A and B are shown apart, each in its own frame.
Chain A
Amino acid sequence: MESRILKPILAVYVALFILFLYGPFVVLTILSFQQGPEGGPQFPIVEWSTYWYRHIFGLTEASRVAPLPIGTSMVRSLTLAFMTMVTSTVLGVMSAQAFRNKFKGSDFVFYLIVLGMITPGLLTGLGVALVSRNIFNVDRHWWSTAFVSHVVYTFPFAFLVMLAILNRFDASVEEASWSLGVSPIRTFRKVTFPLVFPGVLSSMLFAFTLSYDEFSRTLLSSNEQTLPLAIYGTFAVEIHPNLFAFGVLTTLFSFSLLAVYAILMALSVRRAKKVAIQEEIA
């Protein structure tokens, strides 16, 4: 009875959700196959072509449309995302580990960390730039100030993921390891870390993707352009379908990252599941 009303509503809701999630991407994809270099970023499709894909890689003859200025900015973004991922995940694992034992002021520190993900990005970026300039006398760069603002932003995500994982972690396996004469450091490496590895993977994914398309914090804290800044910069001139083609390529790249994550996750979950199922039988 209830579901007769609720189910259709939910179905419409889900349909809309999917439409808004993938709709733009579908439109983008279609337009990226527009004819070039005359074809504009709008319907109708004059003629189907892969011109704009070739244009990105400089495989077309010179025309009035300048190549996308993304080469160096993409390398920057990838490097920055990687640095952020490693730093935030290491910090996240370590701080979540610290929170397993209640310490004095742990509640306060918890909110202090989590604040990093809700402070307004533009202001954080500005603040980092100002502080580094005026107090530490450090210039704005993607690898200095922007890196710091990215870590401040992504670290809480990594921290929360690890906290959730460690909360469910049965500490008696660690004690068992100690009682066998194994030092706490080695115990962490050989027992704790392998068991919380799915969480570490999730933290890494969060940190990487958040950093990779971070815009507002980077805008004022980096002197050079990262990929999102470079793309935004092209809007100011004129939009051509080569931007859409590039959008398609980066999205495919993100999907492949997700696929790698899913495979790694499946491998480690399958092992865990095998254990769980067997336990149920026993």
Chain B
Amino acid sequence: MTAAAHIFRLDSVSKRYGETVALDNINLSVDRNEYVSLLGPSGFGKTVLLRTIAGFEAPDEGRIEVNGVDVSSLPAHKRGIGFVFQNFALFPHLTVADNIGFGLANRDVPAGKDEIATRVNDIIKLVGLEGLAARGVGQISGGQKQRVALARTLITEPKLILLDEPLGALDANLRGRMRNELRAIRERLGVTFLHVTGSETEALAMGDRIIVLDHGHIAQFDIPDTVYSAPATPNVAKFLNRYNVFDGSVSGTSFKTEYGDLAFTQKTKSDRPAYAVRYDRVAVDADESAGKGPSVPASFVASEYLGSSIMYFFEAMGGKVIEVEHHLSNGAPKTFDTEKSYRLRWKPEDAIVFG
């Protein structure tokens, strides 16, 4: 064991498929005992990154270090990294218990029968699969399959576990429960999880830190609060699905867009100019006059009830959709008229401007 604080480190890792750059010079270091979410739209290199770390794909360039050891040229089975697949990839010809004990029984130095039995039993209790040990993996539910996949990995005691959208195949209810269980298991066993997800809520809820991947490079790597309230690039703001993002150009203390000049107070450095304002910071005004402060004229399209809040969808010039979130703790929902025009307003200090 080395004294290094990080469990794994990527050093200028790149991967191309023909013309497509899947990973673009990735530098990344994740601490021990950390839960890291990896967020990004599909097709932006999340799974490739995970598969490259696991050793299923070889990077074109760069170095991968796990536990202080360079594993770049090691085959997958010698890296000691756990991997939980999106489709679970359980062994269909084995029982639940045999699936879980598979790694212990079949590694180069297999564990003894009794030891396997004891450890399989322990882990079955840990993930709550009691009474299912003798079942075939075809005879259990989706959530149980997910737990078998996790137990099968945990039992080999990796220090790093990669999760490839493991909750994607579950329904919303189960997803919430598994989310909590994953965190609890992680805290009990002291492993690092790198969790790929396409869902921004999942990323924000689960990660100690969040990596946002954009076209094969890391756009932001920070704690959820910072990523949420201070996205580093216009695309990060877009992926979070909480921001209205306008294109345009910076001119002094206002931002020129096709909807008018929008005022702002602070600016983040970025190679692409954009103006972002969070859904829940936008207010709807029946008074159509421009008035003071940044505002955009728009017409009401539809609303969507979310339980604790309501989303209103407005359409500005050129069909641009602007979303407004109204938290119900801030008062009863309002009704808007699809025939009428409104003015959407917000405070200049709530705007995040890139330029």
Do A and B make up one complex? yes
Report A's interface with B, CB cutoff 8 A.
Answer: 170, 172-173, 175-184, 186-187, 190-191, 194-195, 271-272, 274-279, 282
Choose among B77, B89, B103, B140 the residue that contacts A172 (Cβ–Cβ < 8 A): B89
- Say whether B83 faces chain A, with CB atoms less than 8 Å apart: yes
Instruction: Pick from B12-20, B90-98, B119-127, B273-281 the stretch touching chain A.
Output: B90-98
B76 touching A195, Cβ below 8 Å? no
A191 touching B91, Cβ below 8 Å? yes
Shortest CB–CB separation between residue A83 and chain B, in angstroms? 29
Choose among B77, B79, B83, B85 the residue that contacts A183 (Cβ–Cβ < 8 A): B77
A146 to B326, CA, bound (A): 83
B102 touching A182, Cβ below 8 Å? yes
| Chain B residue contacts of A272, Cβ below 8 A | 92
B87 touching A278, Cβ below 8 Å? no
Choose among A176, A184, A187, A274 the residue that contacts B85 (Cβ–Cβ < 8 A): A176
CB pairs A–B below 8 angstroms (25 shown): A170-B89, A172-B85, A172-B87, A173-B89, A175-B56, A176-B149, A177-B91, A178-B55, A179-B77, A180-B106, A181-B108, A181-B156, A182-B102, A195-B92, A271-B93, A272-B92, A274-B136, A275-B136, A275-B137, A275-B138, A278-B140, A279-B138, A282-B141, A282-B142, A282-B145
- Say whether B152 faces chain A, with CB atoms less than 8 Å apart: yes
Q: Are A194 and B80 CB-contacts (below 8 A) given A275-B138, A278-B138?
A: no
Shortest CB–CB separation between residue A109 and chain B, in angstroms? 23
How many A-B contacts at CB < 8 Å in the complex? 95
| Chain A residue contacts of B78, Cβ below 8 A | 181
B45-63 contacts to A, CB under 8 A, are: 54-56
Contact string against A for B residues 262-273, beta-carbon threshold 8 Å, 1 for contact and 0 otherwise: 000000000000
A190 to B85, CA, bound (A): 19
Shortest CB–CB separation between residue A200 and chain B, in angstroms? 14
Report B's interface with A, CB cutoff 8 A.
Answer: 54-56, 75-83, 85, 87, 89-93, 102-103, 106-108, 136-142, 145, 149, 152-153, 156
Q: Are A282 and B140 CB-contacts (below 8 A) given A172-B85, A179-B82, A271-B93?
A: yes
Q: Which of B76, B102, B139, B149 has the most CB of A within 10 A?
A: B76
| Chain A residue contacts of B140, Cβ below 8 A | 278, 282
B77 touching A182, Cβ below 8 Å? yes
Choose among B81, B90, B138, B149 the residue that contacts A274 (Cβ–Cβ < 8 A): B138
Choose among A173, A191, A274 the residue that contacts B139 (Cβ–Cβ < 8 A): A274
B106 touching A186, Cβ below 8 Å? yes
A276 to B92, CA, bound (A): 9
Shortest CB–CB separation between residue B153 and chain A, in angstroms? 7
A194 to B83, CA, bound (A): 22
A184 touching B90, Cβ below 8 Å? no
Shortest CB–CB separation between residue B29 and chain A, in angstroms? 21
| Chain A residue contacts of B81, Cβ below 8 A | 179
| Chain A residue contacts of B54, Cβ below 8 A | 175, 179
B106 touching A190, Cβ below 8 Å? yes
Given contacts A178-B55, A181-B80, A279-B138, 16 further A-B contacts (CB under 8 A): A170-B87, A172-B85, A172-B89, A176-B152, A177-B102, A177-B106, A178-B75, A179-B79, A180-B106, A180-B107, A182-B102, A183-B77, A183-B108, A187-B106, A275-B138, A282-B142
A184 touching B156, Cβ below 8 Å? no
Q: Are A181 and B85 CB-contacts (below 8 A) given A195-B92, A275-B137?
A: no
B92 touching A182, Cβ below 8 Å? no
Shortest CB–CB separation between residue A249 and chain B, in angstroms? 38
Shortest CB–CB separation between residue A171 and chain B, in angstroms? 9
Q: Which of A187, A271, A275 has the most CB of B within 10 A?
A: A275
B90 touching A173, Cβ below 8 Å? yes
Shortest CB–CB separation between residue B135 and chain A, in angstroms? 9
| Chain B residue contacts of A274, Cβ below 8 A | 136, 138-139
Choose among B55, B56, B87, B152 the residue that contacts A180 (Cβ–Cβ < 8 A): B152
B77 touching A275, Cβ below 8 Å? no
A76 to B108, CA, bound (A): 43
Shortest CB–CB separation between residue B155 and chain A, in angstroms? 8
Q: Are A180 and B102 CB-contacts (below 8 A) given A275-B136, A275-B138, A278-B138?
A: yes
Shortest CB–CB separation between residue A257 and chain B, in angstroms? 25
A59 to B93, CA, bound (A): 50
| Chain B residue contacts of A278, Cβ below 8 A | 136, 138-140
Q: Are A182 and B106 CB-contacts (below 8 A) given A175-B76, A275-B136?
A: yes
Q: Are A184 and B77 CB-contacts (below 8 A) given A172-B85, A282-B140?
A: yes
